[in-house]
Amino acid sequence: MTEMVYGAVPHTSGDPVLPRWWRTVDRWSIGFVLALFAIGLLLGFAASPPLAERNGLGPFHYVTRQAAFGMMALVVMAVMSMMSPVLVRRLAVLGFLVSFVALAFLPVFGTDFGKGATRWYSLGFASVQPSEFLKPGFIVVTGWLMAASSEIGGPPGKSYSFGLALIICTLLALQPDFGQACLVLFAWGVMYFVAGAPIALLVGVGILVVLAGMFAYGGSEHFARRIDGFLAPDVDPTTQLGYATNAIREGGYFGVGVGEGQVKWSLPDAHTDFIIAVAAEEYGLVCVLVIIVLYAAIVGRSLVRLMKERDPFIRLAGAGLACAFGVQAMINMGVAVRLLPAKGMTLPFVSYGGSSIIAGGIAMGMLLAFTRSRPQGEIADVLGRGR
């Protein structure tokens, strides 16, 4: 009777946003990210005071800034993870466009801070590295294009995404930042493989990467110097790789003790690119293994949850985000143990760096949004009904 007089009452879900989010999100992955952030702060207390002292700052200046950046990243991650995949995609496209324009203008307005690579915009009170924010946006846009190409009458999204990847890699190589360029191309390759690309094509792309590396070696002194240092039979003990290698060796299984490490006094990037060397020296192999397990668990859980997803866009974009996250960690640690040439790449959620940790929060928030449980059934059920 009430509905007849006043009209139908709009239906509202009795399930509030936060409880629904907490029930559907991957809580284990959130816990692993928080553990990585806590480890990063702990290592920051050990690694950053020497640099702060050299720069005439308070002993915990960089730790305080890392905590502030980290809190912003965690808030962004939580908010992003509550969004729908459609909203995440729209924001990713917008963020990608802004980051791409910023990356294109780096040679004109950027700075290198004396490190030989123009990768940052100096804001006076802080700096911004556009490539860090470009990666998650590029991965989501690429997933969207590849998913659209599989639809009837869809655009040639795979070709568009490959062209976009080449343009971005060219802009990154001009900085030069070959590490980020390789990571972008790797993320594209992972998504192309998941989308059903032939192995021959991926092999061809790998050959192009090798040829590009040979060209870069001959044309970039910055790149050639790092490759020569990596290939040298003996490590110069006065270089960053030499200090890091010695620190890892000295740490052994259980480390030399909290605050007893010496590598932080020698490495200018002990709190960023070589933070794992500080962990290995003071806390030993056990701490390094814990960090590796945390990264592997995040990537593994994300991929397992994505295997149940029916939406091709979510599968592709999620796989790209998860694999890029894991490979960035592998590259950072591989450089420290001299398995890879120096790349200037941070350890996600552990290394100091505002752009790195906030962009990591955005990427992880997107991944958590894509891996949330949805009432869609198993993908195997859908495939079975199609037979």
Which residue did the predictor score with more confidence, 200 or 328? 328
Handedness of CA 199, 204, 207, 213 (dihedral sign): negative
52, 61 in Cβ contact below 8 A?
yes
| The predicted structure's pLDDT at residue 11 | 43
Q: Which of 249, 205, 262 is nearest to 337 (CA)?
A: 249
Structure confidence at residue 7 (pLDDT): 45
Task: For 120, list phi and psi in degrees, rounded to 5.
Answer: -130, 155
Q: Give pTM, 2 decimals.
A: 0.87
Q: How confident is the model at residue 200 (pLDDT cuts 50, 70, 90)?
A: confident
243 band by pLDDT with thresholds 50, 70 and 90 = confident
Looking at the DSSP assignment, which residues form a beta bridge with residue 127? 122
Local confidence band at 235 (pLDDT 50, 70, 90 cut-offs): low
Residue 324 has pLDDT above 70, yes or no: yes
Do the domain assignments include residue 142? yes
Instruction: Indicate if the pLDDT at residue 226 is higher than 90.
Output: no
Tokens of 256: 């030399």
Whether 49 is in a domain gets the answer: yes
Looking at 8-17, 59-68, 188-197, 226-235, which range is the least confident one?
8-17
Cβ atoms 194, 319 nearer than 8 A: yes
Q: Are 320 and 143 in contact (CB under 8 A)?
A: yes
What average pLDDT does the segment 216-224 reach? 68
In the structure, what pLDDT confidence band is assigned to residue 90 with cuts at 50, 70 and 90?
A: very high
**Sequence-ordered list of residues with C-beta below 8 angstroms from that of 352, at least 6 positions apart, any chain:** 40, 44, 47, 48, 62, 65, 66, 271, 272, 275, 346
Strands (E) across the chain are located at: 121-122, 127-128
| Alpha-carbon span 71 to 75, nearest angstrom | 6
Q: What is the pLDDT of residues 331-374, one digit of tens each?
A: 999 888 878 877 778 899 999 888 899 999 999 999 999 999 87
Is the pLDDT confidence value at 20 over 50? yes
The CB density around residue 111, as the number of other CB atoms within 10 Å, is: 13
In this predicted structure, the answer to whether residue 80 has a pLDDT above a threshold of 80 is yes
At a CB cut-off of 8 Å and minimum separation 6, what does 157 contact? 144, 145, 146, 147, 148, 149
CA distance 96 to 130: 10
Question: Residue 171: exposed, middle, or buried by beta-carbon count in 10 A (0-12, 13-18, 19+)?
Answer: buried
Give the chain's mean pLDDT.
Answer: 84
**Do the domain assignments include residue 6?**
no
Contact 184, 165 (CB under 8 A): yes
**382 or 163, greater pLDDT:** 163
- Could you please report the per-residue DSSP string of 122-184? E-SS-EE-HHHHHHHHHHHHHHHHHHHHTSTT---HHHHHHHHHHHHHHHHHTTT-HHHHHHH
Q: Residues 275, 350: contact at Cβ < 8 Å?
A: yes
| Cis amide linkage into residue 19, ω under 30° from 0 | no
Number of folded domains in the chain? 1
Q: Does residue 117 belong to any structural domain of this protein?
A: no
DSSP state of 8: P
* Residue closest to 241 by CA, chosen among 342, 328, 352: 342
pLDDT, mean of residues 229-242 = 67
CA–CA separation, 212 vs 208, rounded Å?
6
Residue 85 in contact with residue 369, Cβ under 8 Å? yes
- Cα–Cα dist 380/61, whole Å: 52
Q: Quickly tell me which residue has 């070709």 as its tokens.
A: 159
Does the pLDDT value for residue 188 go beyond 60? yes
Give the C-alpha separation, 359 to 183, whole Å. Answer: 15
Q: How far is CA 157 from the centre of its chain?
A: 24
316, 191 in Cβ contact below 8 A?
yes
Among the listed residues 285, 287, 291, 289, the one whose alpha carbon sits nearest the alpha carbon of residue 253: 285
Residue numbers of the domain that contains 149: 17-110+127-376
Residue 10, in any domain of the structure: no
Mean pLDDT of 167-190: 89
Is a pLDDT exceeding 70 seen at residue 232? no
3-class SS of residue 112: coil
Would residue 169 count as lying in a domain? yes
Structural domain contains residue 7? no
